[in-house]
Amino acid sequence: MDLLDDASRSGFTSLPPLPKTEHMQPLASDAQTPDHWIPRDGRMIRLTGKHPCNVEAPLSALFNAGFLTPQNLFYVRSHGDTPRFSAKQAHEWKLRVHGLVENEVEFSIQELKAKFPVVTLPVTLVCAGNRRKEQNMVVKGLGFNWGAAGVSTGLFTGVYLADVLKYCKPKNPLLSAYPNYDGPIPGRARHVVFEGADELPKGKYGTSQRLSWALDRSKGMIISWGLNGEDLSPDHGYPLRLVVPGQIGGRMVKWLQRIEVSDCESQHYLHYFDNKLLPTTVTADQARNEDRWWHDPKYIINELNVNAAICSPAHEAILELNSHTPTSQKVAIEGYAYTGGGRRITRVEITLDDGETWKICDVRYPEDLYRMYPIHNHPYFGSIDLSTTDMSFSWCFWKVDIDVKSLLGDCDAGFVAVRAMDEALSIMPRDMYWNATSMMNSWWFRVAIYRENSGKALRFEHPTVPGNASGGWMQRLVEDGADPRYPRLGGNSASSGLTSLDTHRPHESLAGDSYHSIMINPDKAATIVTLSQLVEHANGESPSPWFIVEGHVYDATAFLSSHPGGEQSIRLAAGEDVTEDFMAIHSMDAKRMLRDYHIGSLEQPATPSTAPMPKYDTLNDTSKPFLEPKVWKKVRLVHKRRVSYDSRIFRLALPDEHQPLGLPVGQHIYLRIRRVDEASGKVQIVQRAYTPYSCNTQRGFIDLLVKVYFPSGKPLQGSAAFAGGQMTMLLENMTIERNQMTLEVKGPIGEFTYVGNGQIRWKPNHGQRIVKRLAMIAGGSGITPIWSTLKAIADECSTSLLSHNNSVEVWLIYGNRKESDILIREELDHLSRRMDGNLHIWYVLSSDELNAGWRMGRGHIDLECLQQHLPPAPSTTTGAELGDTLAMVCGPPAMEASVSAELQKLGWRVEQDIVFF
């Protein structure tokens, strides 16, 4: 049954192509085993000898097969002989549902199809032992040597387990009264036990699920008879099996014969003595001899963890370098990633320097095609429709192109490593969690890179090869007497390029000369830049943002469009020595990036006074605006006002109470605090950007509305307690009577300005633009940059400064957790009254403990909320046209990312229509 052929008239040719099982014959290697009758693919790698059949595909063959894996390349996990059933036996197959149910029933496969809706789901199956050999290379555990191909994906067709169970009506289900109790309560349905037909030395294979999960359709558990439009093959459970998306393969009973609703979990032998993640302190010998570990319910494995692997370049792949332009060559690094529980992989990153820096990979989700092109009433597949669920049960593919020059370090060997993160923010760990079963291995997947042929080629080596074959960099380290848990490659070994030196040490923060070295391009270190060259580039007819850090000159022209703070943030530094500011506020990654923009060292002048220096307070001319973009000016904290339990308005006084601040509406300032650490005597500098709460016409002071991040109290296990926000705790602890620290401001900074009378300036290439509709979306303290524009528009309305033709209508969606978290609510409601119907405010609260009388939004700012409470997206005839509608967004990064994605679904264009602060 070909899904694409049958559905092509409806536009479904965009779906992943259905793989066909290749024609196969029984293998000679199986001739003397009970499985001699089964056709199998000779490419599959045997992990446990001839019998039973436990195999995985070559990683490259699996990856190249694409999103859907043909049955012949699907990994196989068996514990004994594969049951053999004829077509007649399959037609007469009975699935018995019994136990604590009101209706004990036996279903044939035809009856299942007739009584319940047929559904098809794309599901990734993963053995809990995937990547096990890497753990076995450290210390041999209880399991055999899986490589990284113990994973496969297919379209499974069947009926929802939940539908079958509800038809049979579990008795007295205890679903939530004792959520933390795992023992049996007699007579209360709590578990669902599944049993297969395979006969094993210690009884049939069986396992169980919680009844509450099994009754939940969203979990996607199905009783399946089809895979990729074909009958299940014998190795994969023909004629009937259980499929449990998001969980390990060991929970998916094959050759399914019996389902029992019970008051206790499965009592099958392999339900207890398999698929457990024991503490790392438990040795394999202890696990063999001490049953108590296996009976502890805390150690059971159900859901998959986050995992990823590099599939290309393949193991032992050779990349010949271009003899003419090797440094411009690129190599594609790509592979798969998956996670469990219906969660989605949200991030895949690779590192070339053991985690010091990371590069984001492009991620592709083929399963989303079944959301875009759902299918209903198909004669074989029934419904394939993911458009109504956010669950993700399939692997994704990632890719990133790397410059070959970045792989050509000073050593003869190095690593490329990958890690993935899911939407629960679970992330693959740097270090291995060894355990006696060697299961759920998900430390960074590392591929070694070696120079070959006198530097004319690169060779790639994976950590292991599956089964008992030799190979992989982990084996090399073991043979050299090194601990493969803490790999280090390098040196000039003629044979392998590996060194057995080094044990893992925590990364130390760089300081002093170490900072200096990572920011300097060694090829440019001897280049001298004169002071006149610096001034010419900074102030000439076509100025370039050349600036100084620690005596070296950098040209950031190429980074203007990418700088998170906007182009203006860099241009303001042109010609300046910005060492103090740069070192105080930039991360290690930013310091390392500086090397790419290094052009040389600044000449040493004859007299130090001629060198550019950072500018600070000079004589304050009160006839001019106080703020200057390149000059730090001192202010004093003179008042604190408590707005909520964790929010304050801090008033900072200017030297003269009549001096205007000089801050255009919508722009922000930098606030810097300088303090001397009493213990070390060192000067500490903390710097942040803020949009003042006070209006632009204010004289003599600045008001900042700030959310205070307090210490977290007790630390989480294995981590230090959160000490609180660095800047906000300094402000919170500062006293009015005695300012122990120096406060300085400079500005204005920002690309967005509300000019007045409905006109805005945003981005240099956009010029001035008239807006008639403003959609404002804020979260938490993100209300502050939005407030300044909103207040200016309201002031114009109340003083009739806004002309009728340029009147601005404003919609504000403001998200918080609780009602008490809504900042400046009284002021916002007051503005709404002043604007006489031109301001529409919708508050959204996410807490589960809201007052029953709350009449506005509940939950999060989602697509429905935006659609109902904002104006339509700008209507333009061309993609480049600027409409008269604009969106302004400010909030936590996760909220901004979500809002951006949803606005784009509604037709908003990020570059032309959405301002992010």
Percent of the chain as helix, strand, coil, to the nearest 5: 25, 30, 50
Question: What positions carry a catalytic annotation?
Answer: 127, 274-275
Integer-rounded Cα Rg, in Å, for the chain is 32
Bridging pattern class, strands 230-231 and 668-676: unpaired
Q: Which residue stretches of 42-151 are H helix?
A: 59-64, 87-91, 109-115, 132-138
Q: How far apart are CA 382 and CA 615, in angstroms?
A: 71
Give DSSP secondary structure letters for 323-351. Answer: SS-GGG-EEEEEEEEE-STT--EEEEEEE
> Strand order in 885-890's β-sheet?
857-858, 839-845, 809-816, 773-779, 885-890, 914-916
Neighbours of 200 (CB within 10 A): 17
DSSP state of 17: P
Evaluate whether 81 touches 34 at the Cβ level (below 8 Å): yes
The H or E element containing residue 570 is helix 567-571
Give DSSP secondary structure letters for 666-691. Answer: T-EEEEEEEEE-TTT-PEEEEEEEE-
Evaluate whether 168 touches 261 at the Cβ level (below 8 Å): yes
Residue type, 900: S
Report the Cα 37 to chain-centroid distance in Å.
46
Q: How far apart are CA 442 and CA 432, in angstroms?
A: 7
Q: How far apart are CA 65 and CA 154, in angstroms?
A: 11
Both tokens assigned to 352: 């070339």
Q: Which residue stretches of 215-280 are H helix?
A: 269-272
Q: How far apart are CA 247 and CA 391, in angstroms?
A: 13
Both tokens assigned to 480: 């050299």
Omega before 170 within 30 of 0, i.e. cis: no
Tell me the CA distances in angstroms from 567 to 181, 553, 555, 764, one per residue in order. 57, 18, 13, 9
Question: Directed axis angle between helix 825-834 and helix 783-798, to 10°?
Answer: 30
The H or E element containing residue 828 is helix 825-834
Evaluate whether 804 touches 767 at the Cβ level (below 8 Å): no
Helix (H, G, I), strand (E, B) or coil at 448: strand
Instruction: Tell me the three-class secondary structure of 345-395, residue by residue.
Output: EEEEEEECCCCCCCEECEEECHHHHHHHCCEEEECCCEEECCCCCCCCCCC
Q: How far apart are CA 863 and CA 879, in angstroms?
A: 22
Neighbours of 761 (CB within 10 A): 16
Give DSSP secondary structure letters for 876-890. Answer: -SSTT---SEEEEEE
Residue 262 phi, psi (nearest 5)? -135, 165
Compute the C-alpha angle 541/545/550, nearest 5°. 135
Q: How far apart are CA 643 and CA 787, in angstroms?
A: 15
Compute the C-alpha angle 468/469/472, nearest 5°. 115
Compute the C-alpha angle 13/14/18, nearest 5°. 70
Contacts of 331 (CB under 8 A, 6+ apart): 313, 319, 401, 402, 404, 407, 458
Residue pointed to by tokens 């122990």:
740
Q: How far apart are CA 776 and CA 859, in angstroms?
A: 18
